[in-house]
Amino acid sequence: MTENRSVRVRISGRVQGVGYRAWTVRRASALGLSGWVRNLADGDVEAVFSGPAEYVSEMIAACREGPRMASVRAVEELGPDEPYAGRFEVR
């Protein structure tokens, strides 16, 4: 039985204006994850990934690279979040 995990992350660097949110939706959806991603006023991106723990970990690792035009400085796990159900979406 696969353990589920739900985590909130904050991604900093050049992550706005480079297709980061659309990339996140495609990647998380391909992994079968639920959750959301949004831009923050300070230029960072915030996301919640919810689903099988191994896929959540894989998504967090992928966020350290991001899409081609991004320059990720840090991916900070802000801690567990409420389990999220449904499609992965942009907020």
What's the rounded Cα separation, in Å, for the pair 70 and 80? 25
What's the rounded Cα separation, in Å, for the pair 39 and 61? 19
Does 4 participate in catalysis according to the annotation? no
Catalytic residue among 39, 64, 68, 73: 39
- Report how far apart, in Å, the C-alpha atoms of 6 and of each of 3, 36, 37 are: 10, 11, 13
Catalytic residue among 5, 8, 21, 27: 21
State the catalytic residues: 21, 39
